[in-house]
Chains A and B, each alone.
Chain A
């Protein structure tokens, strides 16, 4: 397959992730959508890496996975902390801070 086919799939996954983050109000689904965006970006990186005959893209994918894991761990911990002070699921309910 040629490079463009992979880029289109990566772009579609990224777009669906953006749409999910902006449309869905459930915090967990928003975080899942962000993972979808990262998957699209990773596919783009890996495809470019293969067609450029270079390893930097593959290495970047590994680090992007690491960062995704770190962010999700902290994000879900914050969500657990949030559920202790306020039973909340949807981000619309986070209305304490307004100005």
Chain B
């Protein structure tokens, strides 16, 4: 902890710029009364690019972790990694909604997206419950609004209602959990929290408090059995915004959870506690949640006929894979008698979050293109896509193979690193669950590919004529970029993994 001074503000310039751009966009429409998409896109993207440049230039000189605002926020490798990812995801989202979107005021949509993005950026650096909580809500509240953005469509508003009720419920559980951890440890500051949790040990109240926090986060990251809102929210939300919702808030919540368990619950650092250590109990709880999440997500995805719902369940399964990484922690006993915990799964979680973001965003973008062409969200609407518009079809094949985890693509390496971490930390049974459910997932991912390559004799016979083959320019750009990233990361994935590892190494953990 330390003093707050004006120089601290320069470290959160990226957040200020992004939130400021949202306010500028709103003033823009209010004063000029126009909804010119080109200018709005320029403002939003310009702000995100500036924020990225400022963040890259303003790094702690020694490359270590710098705590600002008296220990509320930290600027370190971990926060830089996720802030960079979130800026890219936010920009992709603005580009995807800019063209051929529903009859909704575009500027307001872009402003709401930017607000949510600023909350995500803060979540990446939060190391105190108070800031973590308020940043989480700044990310979540705009997302409820985005889900209901097409407010003349019943399914959209309905999805937002369910999302909000469950989200608010999760928030209340989280606050109660924070209240208990605070009460038992007397601190909200993560590094202090870990120390004191180990001093208190695994008392029933401590496990109750940590359990409440895990339940709260379980809702936010959509882990089974707290996943009920996910498919509804993704199916009801406008498709380009569903792309954002399925990637941004989820990865941000995983990042915050990683910080909470890594720093706050002591998954990384010295074991000063009584035996059995709290850490191993919490890791086991996460492992059990992860296994349920993978099994339920993948099995239910098979029976889905709606592409957005299928991707919703598939994203639940991917939450499960990331949770496997979060459960991978080992206890190292040194010769001197001191024991410490090593959070071996953390770099693999960062890597997986990175590759998942591009693959899943791209898949939803293609679903949006198909929705525009055929007016349908059914998987059968992908029939004949290869003949109709080869580029989105080829890209979709890349995304589906990537999400399955077929070797040359990034998804494979993401799962491989998580598997390694799981095996290293004696979670062999969890690794087996991961492999088996991945094999099962091939079934529903490949079904989409099969549909695309099938010619479509029915469409010509159908009365409503042939689906249009148009693809908007910006969608082509987004799909090419995400597919390119998915392919390229398979080749240069080592570099990203090295970045993830150094992010964790230089991060405050």
Are chains A and B touching in the complex at the 8 Å CB cutoff? Answer: yes
The reply to whether the CB of B476 lies closer than 8 angstroms to some CB of chain A is: no
- In the complex, are the beta carbons of A41 and B165 less than 8 A apart? no
Alpha-carbon distance A82/B144, docked complex (angstroms): 13
Alpha-carbon distance A60/B188, docked complex (angstroms): 9
Stretch of B152-160, B259-267, B341-349 lying at the A interface: B152-160
Alpha-carbon distance A66/B148, docked complex (angstroms): 22
- In the complex, are the beta carbons of B182 and A41 less than 8 A apart? no
Alpha-carbon distance A96/B158, docked complex (angstroms): 8
Type the 1/0 row for B179-192, where 1 means its CB is closer than 8 Å to any CB of A.
11011001110000
Q: Would A41 and B235 be within 8 Å (CB), given that A34-B168, A74-B145 are in contact?
A: no
Instruction: Give the contacts of B100-155 with A (CB-CB under 8 A).
Output: 129-130, 133-134, 137, 141, 144-145, 148, 151-155
Among A52, A85, A99, which residue has its beta carbon within 8 angstroms of that of B235?
A: A99
Contact-residue bracket for chain A: 35 or more
Contact-residue bracket for chain B: 35 or more
Alpha-carbon distance A74/B187, docked complex (angstroms): 31
Q: Would A67 and B183 be within 8 Å (CB), given that A60-B130, A74-B164 are in contact?
A: no
For the residues of A in contact with B, the DSSP-based class is: helix
- In the complex, are the beta carbons of A97 and B153 less than 8 A apart? no
Type the 1/0 row for B281-316, where 1 means its CB is closer than 8 Å to any CB of A.
000000000000000000000001010010000000
Among A34, A82, A99, which residue has its beta carbon within 8 angstroms of that of B172?
A: A34
- In the complex, are the beta carbons of A85 and B154 less than 8 A apart? yes
Q: In chain B, what residue has the closest Cβ to A56?
A: B188
Q: Would A97 and B232 be within 8 Å (CB), given that A60-B188, A81-B151, A91-B162 are in contact?
A: yes
Q: Chain A contacts of B158 at CB under 8 A? A: 82, 86, 94, 96-97
The reply to whether the CB of B236 lies closer than 8 angstroms to some CB of chain A is: yes
- In the complex, are the beta carbons of B178 and A71 less than 8 A apart? no
Cβ of A59 to closest chain B Cβ, rounded Å: 6
Q: Chain B contacts of A7 at CB under 8 A? A: 183
Among A34, A67, A70, A78, which residue has its beta carbon within 8 angstroms of that of B161?
A: A78
Among B133, B152, B157, B159, which residue has its beta carbon within 8 angstroms of that of A67?
A: B133
The reply to whether the CB of B317 lies closer than 8 angstroms to some CB of chain A is: no
Q: Chain B contacts of A64 at CB under 8 A? A: 133, 175
Alpha-carbon distance A48/B175, docked complex (angstroms): 13
The reply to whether the CB of A79 lies closer than 8 angstroms to some CB of chain B is: yes
- In the complex, are the beta carbons of B164 and A41 less than 8 A apart? no
Among A30, A66, A96, which residue has its beta carbon within 8 angstroms of that of B165?
A: A30
- In the complex, are the beta carbons of B183 and A91 less than 8 A apart? no
Alpha-carbon distance A21/B228, docked complex (angstroms): 15
The reply to whether the CB of B80 lies closer than 8 angstroms to some CB of chain A is: no
The reply to whether the CB of B443 lies closer than 8 angstroms to some CB of chain A is: no
The reply to whether the CB of B87 lies closer than 8 angstroms to some CB of chain A is: no
The reply to whether the CB of B40 lies closer than 8 angstroms to some CB of chain A is: no
Q: In chain B, what residue has the closest Cβ to A98?
A: B232
The reply to whether the CB of B240 lies closer than 8 angstroms to some CB of chain A is: no
* 17 A-B pairs (CB sep. < 8 Å): A14-B176, A17-B172, A30-B165, A34-B169, A38-B175, A40-B176, A49-B182, A52-B183, A71-B141, A71-B164, A71-B168, A75-B164, A75-B165, A78-B144, A85-B153, A85-B154, A94-B158
Binding site for B on A (CB under 8 A): 7, 10, 14, 17, 21, 27, 30-31, 34, 37-38, 40-42, 44-45, 47-49, 52, 54, 56-57, 59-60, 63-64, 66-67, 70-71, 74-75, 78-79, 81-82, 84-86, 91, 94, 96-97, 99
3 A-B pairs with least C-beta separation: A48-B183, A37-B172, A41-B176
